[in-house]
Every structure is written in structure tokens, then in C-alpha cells.
Amino acid sequence: MKKTFVIGDIHGEFPLLIELMNDLPIDWDNDRIVFLGDYIDRGNFIKETINYLSQIKGDVVFLRGNHEDMFLKYLVGKDMELYLLNGGKKTLSQIDDLIWLKDFIMKTQIYFEDENYFYIHGGLEDRSIEDNIRYCDPEDLLWIRDDFIESRYDWGKKIVFGHTIFETPLIEDNKIGIDTGAYINGVITCIELPSEKIYQKKIYGTR
């Protein structure tokens, strides 16, 4: 049976990412891996993270996070201070070739879906998946938080997302949140679907 492994926000925590990837029982010929975005900013190994991700082969889906969205806006002179105040300085200090990073980000997707799950970085509004795609500003779906987290709306598929940090993964009837704060809590999380088995790697001690 084809499995999907979904990985939450990385934020340049490359050592954690590698430890996690080495532990995942992925069948690279059959399984899929979905990354939920926020690969850059805040962490200390951003270049290594992007270099590693860009070389992964197989059935791999890269979603765009709000930090990738901020980076693209920064490049065209929009909301530059917002980006710098939200971890952008870390990226700019570690990446010499911004075009290389831009090329990677431009290939990312806003959302992805399969038969049972819908994957997005931020979340959805309380309307059908089709109406979210048709009527919502895609950028809004990268940033949405409180209303989505509190929602009990039935989208017909479970929504799998990152963006909002939880101490432990949020697993509810209508959604699954797996951002456990790699850059601040030292915990990176993957969920295997459809079994909903959790894999984590942790850095112990003070961040």
C-alpha cells in the first residue's frame, strides 16, 4: 500500500531533518513524501537544508510556506522589513546565491491533495476545498491560523498543515497539525499516512 510521509516546518534545522529522514521507513520506489513549507529563515543551516531538499529524487511534493512567500516579496521590494523581522536575516546571511533559492521556491506548490487528505501550509476557510481554491487569495491560505485551528468544519478530507506550532501534533477529526517548532523547541515531526503514525526527532537542552 502506498504511504505518504508528511514533514512539518524545518526552518533551516538541517541536522534534525537528516536524523528524521534517516529514521523514516520510506519505500522510495512507491511511497510519497510531502514537505509542508517553511524551509528557510530562523535556523542556522538554511543553505544545507535547501541543497539537500533540492536533490531528493522520487515522489516528492514541496509546498510553499509563508516564509517562502515573504522571501519572494522581499526580492521585489515588498514588505522587506516584515521579512527581516521574521527570520529573514538568517537566510540572507547564509545564502550567497538568492536566485538559486528563488528557483527552488518558485517550484513549490500552494497546496496538494490526494484521495483522503488535503495538504497546505497554513489552513483553509470554512468553505469547501473547491471554494477555497477558487475564491481565496492563495497567500492568505499560507498565513491563516486562529480561525482555522478552532474550526470544526468538515472539508470532506482531513487537512494536513504546518505553520502553527504545537507542543505535540494536533490530530483531530478534520485536521492534522505537525509543526512542533524545530527552530524553537528543537522538535521536528513527520506523520505517516494513512496510519497517522508519528515520527519525531528532538534536540534536548537549551535552544
Name the H helices within 25-165.
46-54, 66-75, 80-83, 89-94, 98-106, 129-135, 138-143, 146-150
**How far, in Å, CA of 160 to CA of 174, rounded?**
9
- Cβ-proximal residues to 202 (8 Å cutoff; 6+ apart), any chain: 16, 186, 187
Q: Evaluate if residue 160 carries a pLDDT over 90.
A: yes
Domain count, the chain: 1
Given pLDDT bands bounded at 50, 70 and 90, which one contains residue 1?
Answer: confident
User: What does DSSP say about strands 111-113 and 117-120: parallel, antiparallel, or unpaired?
Assistant: antiparallel
* Residue 100: inside a domain: yes
Global confidence as pTM:
0.96
Q: Evaluate if residue 207 carries a pLDDT over 70.
A: no
Instruction: Report the CATH number that the domain containing residue 105 is assigned in CATH.
Output: 3.60.21.10
4-29 average pLDDT score: 97
Cell of 47: 543553505
* Residue 119: inside a domain: yes
* Residue 207: inside a domain: no
**Angle at which helices 66-75 and 98-106 pack, to 10 degrees?**
130
Q: Which domain holds residue 73?
A: 4-202
Share of the chain above pLDDT 70, in %: 98
- Cβ-proximal residues to 50 (8 Å cutoff; 6+ apart), any chain: 39, 40, 95, 100, 101, 104
* Residue 19: inside a domain: yes
DSSP letter string over 20-43? HHHH----TTT-EEEE-S--SSSS
**How far, in Å, CA of 83 to CA of 30, rounded?**
38
53-104 pLDDT per residue, tens: 999 999 999 999 999 999 999 999 999 999 999 999 999 999 999 999 999 9
* Residue 56: inside a domain: yes
